Amino acid sequence: MDIYFDNAATTRVRDESVAAMNTVMREDYGNPSSSHKAGRRAGGILADARKKVADALGAQPDEIYFTSGGTEADNWAVLGAADVLSRKGRNIVTSLAEHDAVLNTVKELEKKGWSVTYLSPDNIGRISKDDFAAALRDDTVFASIMLVNNETGVVNPIEEYADEIKKRKLTTVLHTDAVQGFCKVPFAVKQLGVELLSVSAHKIHGSKGVGALYIKKGVKLLPLLFGGGQESGKRAGTEALPAIVGFAEAAALGAAELNETTDGVRELREYMIRQLTAELPEVVFIGGVSPQKSQLRGDTLHNVSAAVSSPFILSLSLPGYKGEVLVNYLDGEGVCVSRSAACKKGARSRVLEAMGLRNDIIDGALRVSFSRSNTMEEVDHFVRKLKSAADTLLKAL
């Protein structure tokens, strides 16, 4: 049995998206910027796709700008805002738990003289409202905190950050990387109160190579790419229409199915937690999964509500084992999981380090991430194989 539990890295493209993409590639292949009939038809398809993504986000179509993916959207948000806002102030607030697409971009600005306040997550991986509020300064012109952490699944209180900015009448532009939250936790951009928000297609059963940046109406952002007048002159380059159409189909279906999918995935996750606890008592769950005596810092974790953690990600650890060895063993048994973010390629998780976890917890960490197509049978198989890995590796010590 081959099992795929690495959906936070990427998802299988759903059949409806494939069908929509094929139609565009075969029949509607005109350039959306062309003025002839084929171009006008392609332009209409592009407009329809933009509306579908906007509707899924609770935005207006003219607030959605298509990109090559989440990384470009994050880079554009950080660099584009910095260019526009630098005359008002040069302080940025972000966290040590951000995706590299944000963190490394911010570090580049830091090299150019920007001051950056890096917030550390608490012991469940969350950036508290109080810490965020304490970090804000009069010259903080930009802040970026992710909605759902890609390693722990912890949900940050973005709406509370926005409320704090508004309450203090600051001009801070707030960005959130919602790549792991889009069509996975309920939100609307207006409710969150952000000015900028990044999403990606391949995390929601669309294709790789396409994403979008929400730019709130009235917010100025310098383009990252220059050239033609595509995307209202803000993002040059012929739109990747097949990928965009597949993205829009996945977004529309994902939004419509959100409650049903979330309920099913949450049931799988809770079942896995119960089975792992029964079969592997030494397992440690990271990210506020349930009330438990914490083996992380020696304190007691409080009961954390479901809203604090996405049901699509389960971060766990077998202290005393090596995560990369467990991943390789499971891979040999046909089970795909990861240690942390896929782009880390085996490096130690700086997110878990920033949480202050013990080294043996970090080294033994695994990330299991679910999709709408996973089953209870797959959960049982994973638990058996992980127990077998622990027993086999223990004998080898």
**Measuring CA to CA, which residue among 230, 231, 216, 176 is closest to residue 59?**
216
Question: Under 8 Å CB-to-CB from 364, ≥6 apart: which residues?
Answer: 317, 318, 319, 320, 321, 322, 323, 326
- 365-369 sheet: strands from edge to edge: 284-286, 313-317, 365-369
- Give the CA count within 13 Å in the CB-facing half-sphere of 319: 14
Provide the 8-state DSSP code for 227. S
CB 287 within 8 A of CB 300: no
Rounded Cα distance, 264 and 281, in Å? 25
343 is catalytic: yes
Query: What number of other Cβ atoms are within 10 A of residue 305's Cβ?
Result: 9
DSSP 302: P
Distance CA(261)–CA(274), nearest Å, equals 20
Contact 299, 306 (CB under 8 A): no
Which member of 47, 134, 256, 343 is catalytic? 343
Report the phi/psi class of residue 327: left, alpha or beta, with left for phi > 0 and alpha for psi in -120 to 50. alpha
| CA 290 centroid distance within chain | 22
8-state DSSP, 122 = -
Q: Single out the residue of 102, 108, 110 nearest to residue 73, CA to CA.
A: 102
Contact at 8 Å (CB) between 106 and 131?
Answer: no
Distance CA 363, CA 304 (A): 24
CB 364 within 8 A of CB 326: yes
Our CA angle for 273, 275, 279, nearest 5°, is 120
Crossing angle, helix 376-396 and helix 323-332, to 10 degrees? Answer: 120
CB-based contacts of 45, cutoff 8 Å, min separation 6: 24, 28, 32, 241, 245
Q: Which residues are catalytic?
A: 343
